[in-house]
Amino acid sequence: MINIKSCLLFIPLLLAGTSFRPQNTQVWNNKKCAVVLTYDDAIDVDLDNVVPALDSMKLKGTFYIIGSSPVVNKRMGEWRRAAKHGHELGNHSLFHPCDGSLPGRSFVGPDNDLSKYSVARTVDEIRATNSLLKAIDGKDVRTFAYPCGDRKIGDVFFYEQLRNDFAGARGVTPGLQTIDKVDLDNVDCYAINGQTADYMIALVKKAMETHTLLVFLFHGVGGGHNLNVSLKEHSQLLHFIKQNEKDIWVAPMVDVAVRIREYQVANHLKRN
């Protein structure tokens, strides 16, 4: 004999299970997870090594541009072509100021010491970089990446004055997060410096398993920076992502940030 009471108790569990599965599989553009490939500082290897590698596999990345970088001035046409091919030119400030008052910051010169900046100067320089980038790619929507991961001047979070200028901002704290937990003021990422392809691929697999956002932060790829990953390891990562593209949404940070914002607004989630 069927126990009606037991059936009624089971229905909410059944409905909860059916609503949970679509949430996991649909929030990331109908894929299991989202992976964002970001490259900092506007250096020659971005154009020499990274853009050709991404283009060869029809993958899109985000290049966080320092406005004053000579590589921007000398190779502007190539940056413009990269943007036309679907890569994001993100904002990494005009002069890459970092907080020189923090431990281990002897590399910070007095002219680029964020601790000596005013908030107004910081905001103005970042907005000036947006104007430069718009002159290159013609776009109004992009994301920001904190130089050295520094978010404050004194006790002030300077990005609070820039929220309306960007779709989101990438930080430097490692982590994998579901779409409802992402803080668009400080998106988590994994900084890569000498790690193997196995390590990076394991992160991608974990993101697939947990239906989360995974952001990679690269500097040098095959040289060009003291923070570096080899061409071989980087290539193996790209090949793995491409081979599993049916389960991985690979997109520039701006596209993913816009999707996260839409989801969080639709679900009335407050930004941190």
- Residue 102 in tokens: 């923090």
Residue burial 87-108, b: 16+ Cβ < 10 Å; e: rest: bbbbbbbbbbbbbbeeeeeeeb
pLDDT digits (tens, 9 = 90+) for 96-122: 999 999 999 999 999 999 999 999 999
| Planar angle of CA 26, 140, 151, nearest 5 degrees | 80
Express as a percent the part of the chain with pLDDT over 90: 89
Residue type, 178: T
Task: Please tell me the predicted confidence (pLDDT) of residue 271.
Answer: 54
Residues pairing with 64 in the sheet:
40, 90
- Residue 183's nearest CA partner among 118, 269, 75 is 269
The DSSP letter of residue 244 is T
User: Could you tell me the pLDDT band of residue 172, with boundaries at 50, 70 and 90?
Assistant: very high
Task: Please tell me the predicted confidence (pLDDT) of residue 25.
Answer: 58
Rounded to an integer, what distance in angstroms lies between the CA atom of residue 134 and that of residue 210?
A: 36
Residue 268 has pLDDT above 90, yes or no: no
Average pLDDT over residues 40-68: 98
pLDDT digits (tens, 9 = 90+) for 202-236: 999 999 999 999 999 999 999 999 999 999 999 99
Domains along the chain with CATH numbers: 33-271 (3.20.20.370)
User: Could you tell me the pLDDT band of residue 26, with boundaries at 50, 70 and 90?
Assistant: confident
User: Could you tell me the pLDDT band of residue 13, with boundaries at 50, 70 and 90?
Assistant: very low
Residue 6 has pLDDT above 70, yes or no: no
Residue 20 has pLDDT above 90, yes or no: no
Mean pLDDT score of the chain, rounded to an integer? 92
Task: Please tell me the predicted confidence (pLDDT) of residue 11.
Answer: 41
pLDDT digits (tens, 9 = 90+) for 173-209: 999 999 999 999 999 999 999 999 999 999 999 999 9
